[in-house]
Amino acid sequence: MDKNQELAQRILESVGGQTNVSQVTHCMTRLRLNLVDDSIVDTNEVKKIPGVLGVSQKGGQYQIIIGQTVPHVYDAFMGQLEKSGITVSQDESEQKQVEKEPFSLKKLGNAILDGLAGSLTPLIPALVAVSMFKMVIAVFGPSMLGVIADGSQLYQLLTMVGDAGFYFFPILLGYTASKKLGTTPVLGMLLGAILVHPTLIQIATEGQVFSVYGISASAQNYSNTVIPIILSVWVMVYVEKFYKKIVPTTLATVFSPALAIATMLPIMLIVLGPIGFRLGEYLSRFLLSLDSVAGFLAVAVIAALWQFLVMTGMHLLLITTMITVFAQNGQEALVSPAAIVASICVAGMSLGSFLSLRKKDERALAFSFLVASFIGGVTEPALYGLGARYKKPFIGLIIGGLAGGVYAGITGVTTYAMIPVASFIAMTAFFGGTTANTINGLIACGIGFIISAGVTYVLGVKETKKEVELVEKNTVSSR
């Protein structure tokens, strides 16, 4: 049994075994579990497992922080479930949760965060891919180096690929939201395709009269939108379940999907679509207004607190709004610059800890966190292995983020590509505008990095022997 299989087996045993797991997903660093009964889990014991960097419970999920090896641990975990003949079912999870817990605002909030995370997280590879194409155009295109000529076939190809991910975002999100919320994925994709159909876009662009089954509707251009398709998929979960119950089994294969889509057309195009479109506009305006209301301090505050928002899961609300703004405007000057500065500050905090520590093994550990964050784009090992454990490095992280954010806010730094990774590659998002914008973005990150490292080094990192042994044991085992 290799380390990943051993880690997966110990985690499964610690969370109550196969029968207590109803859903399993993972992001870049965390194994995300939906448990039937999380009250039976001893979190302190889970944290002691070699290879586990930390545990977080939010959004209705039991999240175990693994680090960069989480995809391998996820595969091993799913292998353990398959060996036991356990079928992971989201529907069973939802049913049992409803039976066990009464409705509350906290439960509603957790469900919303869980739904957003489960819908948006799987899209990260696609967002990374299209953003890299946009970055290549920004750097090598006519606005900067001029290597790729405007109107050339290569320019057209790269632009087409870069725009496709955002233009057809409702289709991609229709799939991931359906997988998360529990309806047929291809039907979710079909709803997204309807929203971006050229005929509907033409009607919206020309302001033509539009109706659904004779009922007047407000046609909108839903390309590059987020909220309309999520709302539509959420409602279709109940619509599809309804038809599966009332349509005879022998006819369900043919009629249930058609009836579900037919029912969703007026609901989506008359009600949910326009509501989601307007809500997206309001969120965009609200986010953009923060800059005018709070000025440069808005970027600074977000940069200083961003990593704590990530640790609590509250960053998902800002990310959803950021995606909406970026998809509609092609640029964003508040959340994205702050998040990039904050991510670079984690590397600075790791460097400061590395310089402050004296023992060889401890320095090697801090340096591995530096590499993981700056090169690999994984910040959580440093956040939990240095910040949460020793506390003082967090002070350096906050001050560095505040300083870098102040500079970014004062100079009006803007991002032109959404790079959803926290490594040095994220700084390429500053390319695409003026040369001054690129330089100021890099300077803001440099300020955050240097100050985070400096403050952390000056404050020092004091650790006990017990703490050092525990961190070393967990981190080495997770490699």
Q: Is 27 considered catalytic here? A: yes
- 7, 27, 301, 338: the catalytic one is 27
- State the Cα–Cα distance between residues 260 and 271, nearest whole angstrom: 16
Q: Give the closest residue to 266 by CA, choosing from 230, 302, 215, 313.
A: 215
The residue assigned the tokens 């479109």 is 277
- The angle formed by the CA atoms of residues 374, 379 and 382, to the nearest 5 degrees, is 100
Distance between CA 254 and CA 247 in Å, rounded? 10
**Residues with a known catalytic role:** 27
